[in-house]
Chains A and B, each alone.
Chain A
Amino acid sequence: MANLHIVLPGLDLKNPVMPASGTFGYGQEFKEFYDLNKLGSISIKGTTREKRYGNPLPRIAEGPAGLLNAIGLQNPGVEHVVQYELPELAKIFNGKVLGNMGGHSFEDYVETAAILSKAENVGALELNISCPNVKEGGMQFGTDPATAARVTREVKAVSSKPVYVKLSPNVTDIVAMAKAVEEAGADGISMINTLVGMRFDLKTGRPIIANKTGGYSGPAILPIALRMVYQVSQAVDIPVIGMGGISSGRDAIEMMIAGASAVEVGCANLIDPYACPKIIEEMNDWLDEMGIDDIHDIIGLSHKY
């Protein structure tokens, strides 16, 4: 059994595996399946200043080895999350969680961050500047380096906890985005969010997703995520939490070899509710097979190439 313990700003992880935001709700739907304390941490369903109903149905379509979604940040609003969801989550998960949050204006981000960062079991914020599914925002903050830097700086100024910025892959130069948020004071980066995609109905020509476009994720995007994590983790000095298509221990190990200090698992939770604990076990098996006794030894192992 290798040492899987990882310490990151605001997060003390017994293992580097966390369910990704939006695929795990606020934990309640998974407590029937397994003890959540098996997890390193949890990135909560993204919250916003006000309650959001989300997008009309259909919100879901499928692609080769992937899921296209446009939920639209449906959530009960940050106050409800802090008053109700996070205390309920604390009853079933002992550790600190990543407080994922979005917004559609600078004020929105700042106000939400101030409230969310005060929650006792939030170890760090995860700033979603990359949601492709809300018209007025999210992604616009994540596609321009100056805007991303400004939102990071303003959130950092009010947050009582470390701040991770979640980057969008829908940019020409993700390294420039990463450097911009690092310079603005981000404590870490999480990446990647979904890739913007579409599917169409053959009979009518109508987009299957009511929002027309959605975010694509799942095993199909793993190589893209690996490439981006490989590039970004070498360009910045803050830790990178890697995600995008991880569905096995092998994938998670590969993400850390690419340069991630921890991983988030998204879609896989939806297909197999036991995905995260299975991945943790499989990581252990892989490390044993590789003759590695400390997970730190594989982080960025690829960077010499």
Chain B
Amino acid sequence: MANQTFMKVLSNKELIKDVYEMVVEGDTSAITTPGQFVNIKLNKYQEPYLRRPMSICDYDDHTLTMIYKVVGTGTKLLSEIRPGHKMDMLTGLGNGFVYQNERSALLIGGGLGLPPLYKLAKELLKKDVEVKLVVGFASKKDAFYLEEFQQLCPVYVATMDGTLGTKGTVIDAINEYNLSYEHYYACGPLPMLKALAKFDEQHGSLSYEARMGCGFGACMGCSMEMKDGSSKRVCLEGPVFASSEVKIDG
């Protein structure tokens, strides 16, 4: 259930150029599963107007960690926020990754889609699931959080320019290392999610992103048409959908 709360910024540090890790402290009780998200009002003014939806990298009973890239005015403002600042956040939004009773899981991240897989990896490991991560970046200079993941599970990297790991996509890395799994969980850009749904339609959970007006189902700004003709909101029924229910084309 969604909750509005004010959270205190504990740290906000640059991991690599333009990619930041922010830790905030406060009421995290509304967050129940990895893959849920928060929606942040950056200041009390009308500019920037919309909240900024943000994935949750990690959380415990009083803190949560987010990783974001500075891509526009909103994330630029976010990067300038200092520890001690209290942020107006809607938390516990959306439906996260649901454990499918698999014994082995492959986590697949693309760029800034990587963060929510971190808490997922921790939770799956608690259930004694065998976890592997494959992550794709544009280039070596874009890679982040690899050491953090390596402390949890085997990590396979793909870069489009071949400067780190497999040259190519996450699917190229899966094929190169012949990575097996009973279920896969993916978060990343739309082309990656579509490619994965084609690659294995039956055994995946895909986390989508969309431009959102509200983040809690009111505006219908992020509705996606599903394979069966129904429509689902990325913010409310999603952001995680079964690979078997999403439209691969269109």
Contacts and interface: CB of A to CB of B under 8 A. Distances in A.
B223 A25 contact: no
B210 A23 contact: no
B49 A63 contact: yes
Contacts of B49: 62-67, 218-219, 267, 271
> Residue among B210, B213, B217, B225 with the most chain A CB within 10 A?
B213
B222 A59 contact: yes
Given A53-B225, A62-B50, A269-B214, 13 more contacts: A22-B219, A29-B218, A33-B2, A54-B231, A58-B210, A59-B213, A60-B219, A63-B49, A65-B49, A218-B49, A219-B46, A270-B214, A271-B41
B220 interface: yes
Interface of A: 22-25, 28-30, 32-33, 45, 53-54, 57-67, 69, 71, 74, 218-220, 247, 267, 269-274
A53 B213 CA distance: 17
B103 interface: no
B193 interface: no
A60 B51 contact: no
A71 B221 contact: yes
Interface of B: 1-2, 4, 41, 46-51, 90, 210-214, 216-225, 231, 236
A74 B220 contact: yes
Nearest to A63: B49
A8 B194 CA distance: 51
Contacts of A67: 49-50, 213
A51 B51 CA distance: 29
B216 A69 contact: no
A61 B210 CA distance: 11
Contacts of B51: 271
Contacts of A33: 2, 4
Contacts of B236: 29
Given A54-B231, A74-B231, A273-B4, A60 B46 contact: no
A293 B210 CA distance: 46
A45 B218 CA distance: 9
Nearest to A245: B46
A57 B210 contact: yes
A62 B49 CA distance: 7
A74 B230 CA distance: 12
Contact of B2 (A32, A58, A69, A74): A32
